């Protein structure tokens, strides 16, 4: 035990989250239904503890602590993502409390699963070994499969869980196959050894290329990049809205974090090959995501396609990093993805928080039509949604503009001005469907009917989540400096 | 003269503060708060007219604060002789927009006024920003406000008009953003507009950048063939929206050409001059012909705007002192005159609830004051000597004459057509037979409406009779722009860029005003 003392200390945040998850699940049966909120607060408390611990653990930015003989690594890059994940998980839990009540799926283990998924994501962002990474991915995915199907009375929710599980398991298999091929090449699954093996064997070794493609495919499933996006609309639509928000933000961020570490630290020698591959994927992803989103009538489905498109924008930053030209190397591109995803989290969480609690006589109003005339009934709610939609469309002075700003700036620096131009023209296409939500809220009169029109059911927890989201969107839109320097410093430990 | 007092920030903050205040006040107080905020802004803007030093060649009232450190983006503001008249015009037009909406807007007045005030901040910001990204933020921030203004408080076909406006202008401006990034990396890693204007860029790059700038600015002007959003937006917008659109928004496009395209991309500007002159002349003639055919007053004025803005782009791209000074003056003139015309249409619409010429005939007898003011605006619009537009159009045509006589002949055709559609409109609206159906509703102007129109009439005659204060303030800045264009050519080869033509130009302006009334 004493042998592993330092290693366990390095993993303390992960351990706390896992212990809290077990505690929540075991306390669930003995907690009366009326006091389920206590479990949520317990989870939030664990997250707060971890936040302090992670901040304290890596107070110097250039420290890189390896634990368990290089299976995990704790550095500023991991810290950046962990802080983002704590924040997202905390806001999701707060958002879930009123949502689960309204949907009558008050299950204590829900919070346990959020924490388990979170611990998987934390392992993902900290892994320096492909097998650790795989374990983290599976822990995250398995928890999410369960959460997607939590609303057992709804067929759509069950369909979402089944579909997600089958396709997710398939993609994990492909990822694992790629990992096994790399093990054959390098004799190790450690990222550092793989990078060394690629250096000696050369970049045009067919085995390495096949392995790279397989790993890329596995990650593209997790990132919901075209053509591996098919599961996204159905799962996002069917899953409970708070789970959808968690998947759209936290799972995407963790996947991007691991993805970037694997391709930069492990497969950096193949830059020229994968940057072209991801260039193609980025273009088709943002084109398909934005174009198909136009015809959606269900707002969760629309946001699913929008999240596909946003993954496309973030991938452009990755392509720019792969080109890595200029004095700054690939840093601006990688940092731009980190900035993009943090800002994307605020607006997406905000939008899903509004959608989840927009209630049409007890039922969730998830059609775009349900927003009709919201500005007349609840001006503030409509205004918040206006800000989130404007930010998703990337209109200044919101956070969405800052996110796109850094991604496209990195692209232009890498000599991809034409790509930036195409992507921005598709951002105009996206403005059409985001503005359609604004249009029905502000410019259309509600259709008179006997049913009470949908209203945003407010609660203190929801107000807090919305306040955080809108503050992030506005403040980082006006003054992104702290965030940008944080990302620029954190990315330096990568490589 | 550089003042340490942050005049320009105050100009930006006042309307924004008013917009925030809208959240806390009642619907009935909203109008007064908005009026107070816009008037306060005007009173902050007015002293700039006298504090401005016409002799100085650099930016004045500058403010320079770091905003984003990586990449270096500054909150950088400043005024020169080109932006000064536009800022003053914006500050002057906005109280009128509040006044004209006093009774016309009945639903969610607070929201309306808040949107109006946010727009004022954004529009002033566009004219005073000296950092390209800051400029872009203001440029786009205005989009959503205008979208809401048309979409929420507009006419029956509002949804179509609003989204058309939004997507057209957004598509133009995203290409501008890419061009800004490219300039950043070629121009020494800076977004400073003045520093970028000093740089020289490879000719092939300039061509691409020019096209990207062109996409953003030509849509905004709007130049033929990108003008199709304008009549739709005007017809559906509330009166205040039409006034803002015509008076201020359209100027942002021509301002962009003058501030960015010409100094930063001089070689490409020269290459594209024939194309832009041709498009301008097409706009002048086509806009006028379309105006002749309209039965809706707002559409008529909208197409006349296309025609008038054609004169502005023509003046800019003949690339000489007379042309550019005439264009800047014409930007202000068009703001005053067309703003006045839209206000007049709004006033009559409140009475008869129709914008059709056929429904609003014979107003001279029941509304004599209104008829007189409408005629003044209309005659100014056709460029009658003694009014403001005459001076501007004359300068533009003089500038064009130096560039090409044929182009001048075609452009002059637009002046004649303007006389045709304006006089025909006046003949029907003012002197036709009043429809008995509407007669009881036709009361003459009240004090609020007089307060809106009379200041504009005074400006029409001031600029028409004594344009020197305007021209002398913009003179140095226009000289700078032309000088920065000719630097790539090595030796100053043209006779146009020399300072010697300048006094002559001011003289010619003065001559016209003395000639004007005597004719």
Residue B2: predicted pLDDT: 47
Which chain B residue is nearest to residue A409, measuring alpha carbons? B181
Share the mean pLDDT of chain B: 84
User: Given this model, what pLDDT does residue A325 score?
Assistant: 52
B153 within a domain of the structure (yes/no): yes
Residue B120 token pair: 């004022």
H or E element: which one contains B89?
helix B83-100
CB distance A245 to A348 below 8 Å: yes
DSSP code of B75? Answer: E
Residue A92 predicted with pLDDT over 90: yes
Tokens of A36: 């389920």
List the single residue in A with minimal CA-CA distance to B205: A417
Per residue in A265-285, pLDDT (tens digit) is 888 888 888 888 999 999 999
Give me the domain span that covers residue B110.
Answer: 7-518
Residues 107-126 of B with CB under 8 A from A: 108, 111
Closest CB to B174 among A409, A425, A439 = A425
Is B292 within the bounds of a domain?
yes
Which of B68, B108, B188, B215 is the best mutation test for A, with the most CBs of A within 10 A? B68
Beta strands in B34-175 (DSSP E): 60-68, 73-79
Q: Tell me whether residues A431 and B166 touch, CB distance under 8 A.
A: yes
Is residue B500 predicted with pLDDT exceeding 50?
A: no
Q: What pLDDT, on a 0 to 100 scale, did the predictor assign at position A349? A: 93
Least confident stretch, B47-51, B98-102, B287-291, B437-441: B437-441
CA distance B148 to B166: 10
Give the separation between CA B176 and CA A451, rounded to whole angstroms: 47
Q: Which of A313, A326, A443 to mutate to test the interface with B (most CBs of B within 10 A)?
A: A443
Distance CA B88, CA B120 (A): 12
Strand-pairing partners, residue A72, are: A67, A127
Going A130 to A133 to A137 to A143, the CA torsion angle's sign is: positive
Residue B98 tokens, joined: 């509040």
Using an 8 Å Cβ cutoff, are A92 and A107 in contact? Answer: no
C-beta atoms of A397 and B141 within 8 A: yes
Q: Largest alpha-carbon pair distance within chain B?
A: 70
Q: What is the pLDDT of residues A108-132, one digit of tens each?
A: 788 999 999 999 999 999 998 999 9
How much is the pLDDT for A195? 87
Q: What is the pLDDT of residue B231?
A: 84
Per-residue pLDDT band for B237 (boundaries 50, 70, 90) equals confident
* Contact in structure between B62 and B78 (CB atoms under 8 Å): yes
Percentages helix, strand, coil for chain B (3-state, rounded to 5) are 75, 5, 20
Q: Do B162 and A443 touch (CB under 8 A)?
A: yes
Give a yes or no: residue B25 inside a domain: yes
B445 part of a folded domain: yes
CB contact under 8 A, A413 and B175: no
Cα distances from B492 to residues A280, B55, B194, B484, in angstroms, run 49, 22, 21, 11
pLDDT score at B517: 38
Which has more confidence, A118 or B7? A118
* Residue A1 in this model has a pLDDT that exceeds 50: no
Q: What is the DSSP letter of B257?
A: I
Residue A490 token pair: 């954190």
pLDDT > 70 fraction of chain B, expressed in percent and rounded: 93
Here the tokens at position A101 are: 């009540």
B491 pLDDT exceeds 80?
no
Number of H helices, E strands in chain B: 21, 2
Q: For residue range A171-227, list pLDDT tens digits in order.
A: 999 999 999 999 988 888 898 888 888 888 877 788 888 999 999 999 999 999 988
3-state secondary structure of B437: coil
Tell which of B170, B186, B189, B241 to mutate to test the A interface (max A CBs under 10 Å): B170
Residues 448-467 of B with CB under 8 A from A: none
Is residue B109 within 8 A of residue B157, CB to CB? The reply is: no
Looking at the partner chain, which of B69, B147, B158 has a beta carbon nearest the beta carbon of A481?
B69
Q: How confident is the model at residue B496 (pLDDT cuts 50, 70, 90)?
A: very low
The count of domains in chain B is 1
Q: Looking at the complex, report in whole angstroms how far the Cα of residue B238 sits from the nearest Cα belonging to chain A.
A: 14
Q: What is the pTM of this model?
A: 0.89
By the CB < 8 Å criterion, does B249 face chain A?
no
Using DSSP's 3-state secondary structure scheme, residue B60 falls into: strand
B167 touches chain A (CB under 8 A): yes
CA B510 to chain centre: 24
Task: Judge whether B2 lies within some domain.
Answer: no
**What local confidence, expressed as pLDDT, does residue B502 receive?**
38
Q: How confident is the model at residue B482 (pLDDT cuts 50, 70, 90)?
A: confident
Per-residue pLDDT reduced to its tens digit, A24-48: 989 888 888 778 788 889 899 999 9
| Sheet with A358-360: strands ordered across | A363-364, A358-360, A455-456
Q: Which residue from B minimizes the CA distance to A441? A: B152
Interatomic CA distance for residues A382 and A378, integer angstroms:
6
Based on C-alpha coordinates, what's the Rg of chain A? 22
C-beta atoms of B159 and A439 within 8 A = yes
Measured CA to CA, the distance from residue B128 to residue B193 in angstroms comes to 11
B182–A412: do the CB atoms touch at under 8 Å? yes
User: How confident is residue B515, by pLDDT bands cut at 50, 70 and 90?
Assistant: very low
CA distance A480 to chain B (A): 7
pLDDT at B325 over 80: yes
Which residues of chain B neighbour A408 with C-beta distances below 8 Å? Answer: 177-178, 181
Stretch A433-449: mean pLDDT, rounded?
A: 82
Task: Answer whether residue B1 is part of any domain.
Answer: no
For B467-478, the pLDDT digits (tens) are 888 888 888 888
Q: Could A420 and B133 be called an inter-chain contact, meaning their C-beta atoms sit closer than 8 Å?
A: no
What tokens does B190 get? 């800076």
Q: Do A420 and B181 touch (CB under 8 A)?
A: yes
Residue B440 CA to residue A260 CA, distance in Å, equals 75
Strand A72-75 to A64-67 pairing? antiparallel
Angle at A260 between CA A255 and CA A263, to 5 degrees: 120
Name the average pLDDT for chain A.
Answer: 87
Residue-level pLDDT at B516: 37
- Its ipTM equals 0.89
For chain A, the three-class secondary structure string (H helix, E strand, C coil) is CHHHHHHHHHCHHHHHHHHHHHHHHHHHHHCCHHHCHHHHHHHHHHHHHHHHHHHHHCCCCCCEEEECCCCEEEEHHHHHHHHHHHHHHHHHHHHHHHHHHHHCCCCCHHHHHHHHHHHHHHHHHHECEHHHHHHHHHHHHHHHHHHHCCCCCCHHHHHHHHHHHHHHHHHHHHHHHHHHHHHHHHCCCEHHHHHHHHHHHCCCCHHHHHHHHHHHHHHHHHHCCCCCCCHHHHHHHHCCHHHHHHHHHHHHHHHHHHHHHHHHHHCHHHHHHHHHHHHHHHHHHHHHHHHHHHCCCEHHHHHHHHHHHHHHHHHHHHHHHHHCCCCCCCHHHHHHHHHHHHHHHHHHHHHHHHHHCEEECCEECCEHHHHCCHHHHCHHHHHHHHHHHHHHHCCCCCHHHHHHHHHHHHHHHCCCHHHHHHHHHHHHHHHHHHHHHHHHHHHCCCCCCCCCCCEECCCHHHHHHHHHHHHHHHHHHHCCHHHHHHHHHHHHHCC
Q: What is the pLDDT of residues A454-480, one digit of tens each?
A: 777 788 888 999 999 999 999 998 899
With H, G, I as helix, E, B as strand and everything else as coil, classify residue B124. helix
B 53-82 residues with CB < 8 A to A: 67-71
The whole-number pLDDT of residue A236 equals: 92
Four-CA torsion A345, A346, A349, A352, nearest 10 degrees: -120
| Better pLDDT: B5 or A81 | A81
DSSP β-bridge partners for residue A74 = A65
Decide if B215 is inside a domain. Answer: yes
Q: Assess if residue B131 is contained within a domain.
A: yes
Q: At CB < 8 Å, which residues of chain A contact B?
A: 375, 379, 390, 395-397, 401, 405, 408-409, 412-413, 417, 420-421, 424-425, 427-428, 431-432, 435, 438-439, 442-444, 479-481, 484-485, 488
B147 at the A interface (CB within 8 A)? yes
Tell me if A428 and B167 make a contact (CB, 8 A cut-off). yes
Model confidence band, residue A258 (pLDDT cutoffs 50, 70, 90): very high
Q: Is the pLDDT of residue A311 over 70?
A: yes
Q: Does B375 touch chain A (CB under 8 A)?
A: no
Nearest CB to B148; choose among A401, A442, A444: A442
CB contact under 8 A, A425 and B175: yes
Query: Distance from B150 to chain A by nearest Cα, in Å?
Result: 10
CA distance B376 to A252: 63
| Residue A463 distance to chain B (closest CA, Å) | 18
For residues A116 and A96, give the distance between their C-alpha atoms in angstroms, rounded to a whole number. Answer: 16
Interchain pair B136, A396: CB under 8 A: yes
Given pLDDT bands bounded at 50, 70 and 90, which one contains residue B497? very low
pLDDT at B519: 32
* A443–B170 CB contact, under 8 Å: no
- Chain B residues in contact with A439 by the CB 8 A cut-off are 151, 159, 162-163
Q: Does position A72 have pLDDT exceeding 50, yes or no?
A: yes
B16 touches chain A (CB under 8 A): no
With CB atoms and an 8 Å threshold, state whether B178 touches A424. Answer: yes
- Give the torsion through C-alpha atoms of B217, B223, B228, B233, to 10 deg: 60
Q: In this predicted model, what pLDDT tens digit does every residue of A325-359 receive, in sequence order?
A: 544 567 888 899 999 999 999 999 999 999 888 88
């Amino acid at each position: 035990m004493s042998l592993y003392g330092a290693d366990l200390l390095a993993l303390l945040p992960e351990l706390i989250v896992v212990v809290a998850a077990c505690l929540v699940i075991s306390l669930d049966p003995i907690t009366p239904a009326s006091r389920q909120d206590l479990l949520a607060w317990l989870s939030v408390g664990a997250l707060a503890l971890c936040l302090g611990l992670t901040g304290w653990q890596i107070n110097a930015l250039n420290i890189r602590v390896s634990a368990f003989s290089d299976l995990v690594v704790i550095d500023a890059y991991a810290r950046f993502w962990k802080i983002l994940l704590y924040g997202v998980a905390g806001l999701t839990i707060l958002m879930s409390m009123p949502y689960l009540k309204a949907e009558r799926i008050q299950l204590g283990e829900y919070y346990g699963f959020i924490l388990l998924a979170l611990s998987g994501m934390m392992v993902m962002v900290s892994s320096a070994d492909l097998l650790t990474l795989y374990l983290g991915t599976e822990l995250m995915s398995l928890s999410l499969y369960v959460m997607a199907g939590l609303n057992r009375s709804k067929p759509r929710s069950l369909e979402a869980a089944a579909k997600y599980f089958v396709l997710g398991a398939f993609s994990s298999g492909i990822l694992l196959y790629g990992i096994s091929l790399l093990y054959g090449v390098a004799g190790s699954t450690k990222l550092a050894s793989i990078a060394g093996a690629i250096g000696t064997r050369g970049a045009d070794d067919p085995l390495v290329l096949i392995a790279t493609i397989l790993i890329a495919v596995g990650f593209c499933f997790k990132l919901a990049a075209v053509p591996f996006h098919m599961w996204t609309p159905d799962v996002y639509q069917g899953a409970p809205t708070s789970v959808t928000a968690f998947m759209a933000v936290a799972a995407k961020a963790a996947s991007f974090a691991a993805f970037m570490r694997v391709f930069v630290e492990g497969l950096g020698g193949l830059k020229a090959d994968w940057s072209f591959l991801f260039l193609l994927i980025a273009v088709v992803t943002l084109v398909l995501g934005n174009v198909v989103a136009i015809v959606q009538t269900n707002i969760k489905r629309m946001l699913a396609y929008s999240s596909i498109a946003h993954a496309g924008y973030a991938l452009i930053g990755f392509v720019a990093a792969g080109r890595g030209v200029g004095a700054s190397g690939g840093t601006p591109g990688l940092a731009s993805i980190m900035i993009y995803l943090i800002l994307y989290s605020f607006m997406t969480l905000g939008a899903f928080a509004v959608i989840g609690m927009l209630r049409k006589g007890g039922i969730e109003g998830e059609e775009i039509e349900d927003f009709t005339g919201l500005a007349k009934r609840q001006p503030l709610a409509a205004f918040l949604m206006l800000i989130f939609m404007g930010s998703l469309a990337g209109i200044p002075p919101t956070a969405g503009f800052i996110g796109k700003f850094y991604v496209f700036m990195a692209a232009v620096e890498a000599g991809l001005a034409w790509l930036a131009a195409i992507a921005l023209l598709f951002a105009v296409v996206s403005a059409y469907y985001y503005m359609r939500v604004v249009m029905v809220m502000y410019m259309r009169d509600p259709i008179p009917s006997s049913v009470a029109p949908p209203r945003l059911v407010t609660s203190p927890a929801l107000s807090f989540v919305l306040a955080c989201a809108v503050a992030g969107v506005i403040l980082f839109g006006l003054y992104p400096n702290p965030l940008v320097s944080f990302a620029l410093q954190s990315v330096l430990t990568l490589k | 003269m550089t003042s340490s007092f942050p005049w320009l920030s105050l100009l930006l903050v006042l309307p924004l503060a008013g917009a925030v205040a809208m959240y806390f006040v009642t619907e009935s107080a909203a109008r007064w708060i908005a009026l107070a905020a816009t008037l306060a802004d005007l009173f902050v803007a007015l002293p700039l007219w006298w504090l401005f030093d016409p002799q100085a060649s650099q930016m004045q009232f500058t403010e320079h604060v770091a905003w984003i450190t990586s990449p270096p983006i500054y909150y950088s503001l400043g005024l020169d002789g080109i932006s000064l008249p536009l800022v003053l015009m914006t500050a002057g037009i906005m109280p009128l927009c509040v006044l004209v909406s006093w009774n016309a807007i009945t639903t969610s007045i607070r929201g309306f006024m808040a949107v109006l005030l946010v727009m004022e901040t954004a529009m002033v910001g566009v004219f005073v920003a000296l950092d390209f990204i800051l400029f872009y933020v203001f440029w786009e921030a205005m989009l959503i406000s205008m979208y809401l203004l048309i979409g929420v408080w507009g006419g029956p076909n509002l949804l179509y008009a609003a989204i058309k406006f939004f997507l057209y202008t957004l598509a133009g401006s995203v290409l501008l953003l890419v061009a800004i990034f490219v300039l950043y990396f070629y121009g020494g890693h800076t977004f400073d507009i003045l520093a970028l204007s000093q740089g020289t860029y490879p000719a092939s790059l300039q061509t691409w950048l020019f096209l990207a700038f062109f996409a953003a600015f030509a849509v905004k002007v709007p130049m033929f063939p990108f003008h199709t959003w304008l009549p739709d937006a005007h017809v559906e917008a509330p009166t205040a929206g039409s006034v803002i659109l015509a008076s201020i928004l359209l100027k942002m496009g021509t301002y962009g050409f003058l501030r960015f395209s010409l100094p930063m991309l001089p070689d490409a500007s020269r290459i594209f001059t024939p194309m832009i002159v041709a498009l301008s002349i097409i706009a002048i003639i086509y806009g006028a012909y379309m105006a002749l055919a309209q039965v809706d007053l707002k559409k008529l004025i909208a197409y006349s705007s296309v025609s008038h803005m054609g004169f502005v782009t023509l003046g800019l791209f003949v690339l000489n002192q007379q042309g550019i000074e005439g264009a800047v003056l014409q930007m202000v003139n068009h703001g005053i005159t067309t703003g006045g015309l839209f206000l007049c249409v709004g006033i009559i619409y409140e009475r008869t609830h129709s914008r059709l010429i056929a429904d609003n005939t014979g107003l001279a007898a029941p509304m004599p004051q209104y008829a007189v003011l409408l005629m003044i605006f209309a005659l100014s619009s056709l460029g009658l000597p003694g009014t403001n537009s005459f001076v501007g159009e004359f300068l533009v045509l003089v500038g064009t004459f130096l560039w090409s006589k044929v182009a001048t002949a075609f452009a002059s055709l637009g002046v004649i057509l303007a006389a045709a559609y304006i006089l025909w409109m006046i003949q029907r609206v003012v002197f036709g037979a009043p429809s008995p159906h509407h007669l009881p509703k036709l009361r003459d102007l009240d004090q609020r409406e007089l307060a809106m129109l009379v200041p504009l009439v005074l400006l029409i005659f001031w600029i028409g009779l004594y344009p020197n204060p305007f021209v002398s303030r913009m003179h140095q800045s226009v000289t700078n722009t032309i000088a920065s264009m000719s630097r790539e050519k090595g030796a100053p080869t043209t006779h146009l860029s020399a300072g010697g033509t300048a006094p002559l130009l001011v003289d010619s302006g003065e001559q016209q005003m003395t000639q004007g009334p005597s004719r």
